Every structure is written in structure tokens, then in C-alpha cells.
């Protein structure tokens, strides 16, 4: 279906980066691409928007790595990066600049494909840094995600886990910590590509929606009946359609007999309301979930990785799912790219 024959998945896991490609059957063929022993690859790998052979991966122990040959070989690219425990990595859709977020909370920017990085250090002078934390010892916060405006490349949003939401309007020279009406345990932020005033932020305690660029938020209550919300994926050709995934409980409780109790949700009105989608999915999903990833070549295709080493794919915008990958280490994040 769709353009599956042209699709490749880059799958970050608890032990290395895997590639997966369609094999003509119901499941994809997977192979290890590298980065074993480099720490968890819990962040979505990046395929450079100017060169599909160039792939970036961020690790929990060795910072940012880059491949120039589609993942066959890797090198560390940390010139200017202070902390190698990476929690976020993104490429600006209009400028092509790279942004990496670490723990402790810091943001680094590269304008040369990762050869060198600049520390956007003003954020660490904010008075609120004393309140930033994380539930697990040593209780150090981290930058969880980046949200970009397509119309204003200088405006960037960054959720802190845990420490509310950061915003810069000058490309990172200065920052402000948005705290009013927004959850302290911030996870992911998505700026709508067709209307940058609409921002959705997810957290460990639900999801929030803004219609003024992130200045004020309202909690989303209709249709989202699970509390631990993942990243929101936007339909590439119908930006009113969004998909997300959520667990009923926080990660320490995913070990209970019923597990995480995960569900996948779709919104048809840019996040105002949501509805659970169930086609092809198990009645109870016990494994913890990871962010939803869209296919830039096939607008109705989305993937969701799970901690049990599976990846689920929809090619009809969420109406039905099938398991296309299984048997790999716990999945951290998936990127869909053209082969």
C-alpha cells in the first residue's frame, strides 16, 4: 500500500540504531546499523533535509553522531557540546540549522551540519533554573523537544522535563521560561505548520493547547483519557489531522501486570478534540509507547515504536495498524525516510 516499497525506517533503541525496510511480506527486514554501546538512542534520528544520505543520531552517553552514508558508518560530532547526555535533536525546517538539547538542560546550535556547535547559554541564567528537576536521581532536568515556526525562524519553543516551557524569539540569544497555565512536567511541543499561533504541548499530566503562540495554554480534556502523552505528529497534507499516543500511567508503573495501557489517538480539528483509533491494534497494549512519526513521502503513513521492540504502521491515516517490526531491543524513537 501507499509508497511502502520506497520507505525506510531508522529505529533508535536501547542498544544501537536499526534500519528497517519492506521485504514484500507483512513485516519489514531489520538490521543493526551501529551505535551499540553508545548509550540509548531514545531520540528520533534525523535525515538531513538537504542530503538524504546524511543521518544524525543523538545518544544518551556519547552526544551527537553523524553518518554520511545512510547509517553504514558513524562519527561523533560534539565540538562545542558541553554535555553528552542528549535528550532532543532537531533540524529547523526552513534554515536547516541543527539544535541539540541535553541533560543538564542546555541547547546547542549548529549551522554547519554538526561540525561545530554553539552553546545558547543564556537559558542557564534564568532565575527559574533552580526549580528545574527530574523525578529520578540525580534529579537533573533536560531539554525534551524543539518546536519551530515555519514563518518565523527565530521563534523556538523547548519543553523542559521538568521545568515548564522555554521560548526564544531571537534564535536563542535570549530565553524566557513560560510557566502560567502550562504543566511543569513538559514533554513535547508541536507548532502547527499552517498556523504558528496554534501550539500543542504534551506532558506527563495531559495535553495543552495554545492559540497565541504559546503565551497561554488550555488543557485538552475531550477524548484524551490517558495522562502520559507522547509527541504529536501532524498530517503532512492535512494539517488539521494530528496523531498522538498516550499511556494510562507514568513509566515507573509500566511494570505492573497491565503494563502501560497505551492507546493511539487522532484529532480532526488540530487538537481541540481527540478520538481513540483501534483498528488492527491489540485490545490491551502493555508496552510503553514512543513518539508517533509521519512519513514525508506518504501523508497517510505513520509509525509508532514500542518498548517491547515492535513498530506499528498505519497507511490509512490511523484507521488501521499492523505490526511491521518485532524482535529488536526496546524502541526509543522511529524516523521514516525515503529509501
Q: What per-residue confidence (pLDDT) applies to 157?
A: 97
Q: What per-residue confidence (pLDDT) applies to 1?
A: 41
pLDDT value at 24 more than 90: no
Q: What per-residue confidence (pLDDT) applies to 146?
A: 97
For residue 301, is the peptide bond before it cis, meaning its omega torsion is within 30 degrees of 0?
Answer: no
Q: What residue has cell string 503565551?
A: 215
Whether 206 and 183 have beta carbons less than 8 Å apart is answered as yes
- Kindly state the DSSP code that residue 238 receives in the 8-state scheme: -
pLDDT value at 107 more than 70: yes
Query: What percentage of residues in the chain have a pLDDT greater than 70?
Result: 99
Sign of CA pseudo-dihedral 264, 265, 270, 271 = negative
Task: Quick: pLDDT tens for 30-47.
Answer: 999 999 999 899 999 999
Q: For all residues of the chain together, what is the average pLDDT?
A: 94
**What number of other Cβ atoms are within 10 A of residue 115's Cβ?**
11
The two beta strands, 218-220 and 142-143, are: unpaired
Q: What value does the mean pLDDT take over residues 271-279?
A: 96
CATH code, residues 4-338: 2.130.10.10
How does residue 296 score in pLDDT terms, banded at 50, 70 and 90? confident
- Give 249's Cβ-side CA count (13 Å radius): 14
Q: What per-residue confidence (pLDDT) applies to 4?
A: 67
Whole-number Å distance between alpha carbons of 141 and 275: 32
Q: What per-residue confidence (pLDDT) applies to 163?
A: 97
CA-based nearest residue to 183, from 156, 211, 203: 203
Q: What per-residue confidence (pLDDT) applies to 230?
A: 93
Q: What per-residue confidence (pLDDT) applies to 338?
A: 80
pLDDT value at 297 more than 90: no
How far the first Cα of the chain sits from its last, in Å, is 16
Task: Quick: pLDDT tens for 44-87.
Answer: 999 999 999 999 999 999 999 999 999 999 999 999 999 999 99
The residues with which 203 forms a beta bridge, in sequence order, are 186, 206
Q: What per-residue confidence (pLDDT) applies to 26?
A: 83
pLDDT value at 2 more than 60: no
- How far, in whole angstroms, is CA 321 from its chain's centroid? 20
Whole-number Å distance between alpha carbons of 255 and 248: 12
Helix (H) or strand (E) holding 107: strand 106-110
Q: What per-residue confidence (pLDDT) applies to 180?
A: 84
- Rounded to the nearest 5°, which phi and psi values hold at 258? -85, 0
Task: Quick: pLDDT tens for 201-255.
Answer: 999 999 999 999 999 999 998 999 999 999 999 998 999 999 999 999 999 999 9
Whole-number Å distance between alpha carbons of 296 and 338: 8
> What is the reported pTM?
0.95
Q: What per-residue confidence (pLDDT) applies to 59?
A: 95
pLDDT value at 326 more than 80: yes
Domain segments of the chain: what residues?
4-338
- Rounded to the nearest 5°, which phi and psi values hold at 18? -115, 150
pLDDT value at 25 more than 90: no
CA-based nearest residue to 157, from 190, 117, 182: 190
Amino acid at each position: 500500500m501507499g509508497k511502502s516499497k520506497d520507505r525506510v525506517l531508522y529505529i533508535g533503541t536501547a542498544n544501537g540504531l536499526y534500519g528497517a525496510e519492506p521485504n514484500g511480506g507483512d513485516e519489514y527486514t531489520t538490521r543493526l546499523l551501529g551505535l551499540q554501546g553508545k548509550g540509548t538512542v531514545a531520540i528520533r534520528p534525523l535525515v538531513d533535509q538537504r542530503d538524504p544520505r546524511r543521518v544524525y543520531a543523538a545518544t544518551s552517553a556519547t552526544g551527537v553522531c553523524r553518518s554520511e552514508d545512510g547509517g553504514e558508518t558513524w562519527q561523533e560530532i560534539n565540538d562545542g557540546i558541553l554535555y553528552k547526555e542528549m535528550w532532543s535533536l532537531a533540524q529547523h525546517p526552513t534554515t536547516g540549522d541543527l539544535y541539540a538539547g541535553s541533560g543538564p538542560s542546555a541547547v546547542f546550535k549548529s549551522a554547519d551540519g554538526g561540525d561545530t556547535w554553539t552553546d545558547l547559554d543564556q537559558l542557564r541564567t534564568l532565575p527559574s533554573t533552580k526549580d528545574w528537576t527530574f523525578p529520578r536521581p540525580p534529579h537533573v532536568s533536560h531539554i525534551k523537544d524543539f518546536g519551530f515556526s515555519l514563518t518565523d525562524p527565530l521563534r523556538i519553543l523547548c519543553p523542559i522535563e521538568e521545568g515548564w516551557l522555554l521560548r526564544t524569539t531571537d534564535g536563542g540569544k535570549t530565553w524566557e521560561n513560560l510557566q502560567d497555565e502550562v504543566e511543569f512536567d513538559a514533554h513535547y511541543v508541536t507548532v502547527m505548520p499552517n498556523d504558528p499561533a496554534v501550539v500543542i504541548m504534551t506532558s506527563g499530566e495531559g495535553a495543552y493547547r495554545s492559540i497565541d503562540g504559546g503565551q497561554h495554554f488550555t488543557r485538552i480534556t475531550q477524548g484524551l483519557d490517558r495522562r502520559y502523552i507522547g509527541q504529536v505528529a501532524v498530517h503532512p497534507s492535512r494539517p488539521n489531522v494530528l496523531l498522538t499516543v498516550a499511556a494510562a500511567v507514568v513509566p515507573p508503573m509500566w511494570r505492573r501486570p497491565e503494563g502501560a495501557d497505551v492507546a493511539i489517538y487522532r484529532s480532526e480539528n488540530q487538537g481541540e478534540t481527540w478520538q481513540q483509533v483501534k483498528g488492527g491494534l491489540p485490545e490491551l497494549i502493555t508496552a510503553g509507547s514512543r513518539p508517533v512519526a509521519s512519513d514525508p513521502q506518504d501523508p497517510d503513513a505513520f509509525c509508532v515504536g514500542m518498548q517491547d521492540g515492535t513498530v506499528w504502521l498505519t497507511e490509512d491515516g490511523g484507521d488501521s495498524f499492523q505490526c511491521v517490526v518485532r524482535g529488536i531491543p526496546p524502541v526509543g524513537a522511529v524516523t521514516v525516510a525515503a529509501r
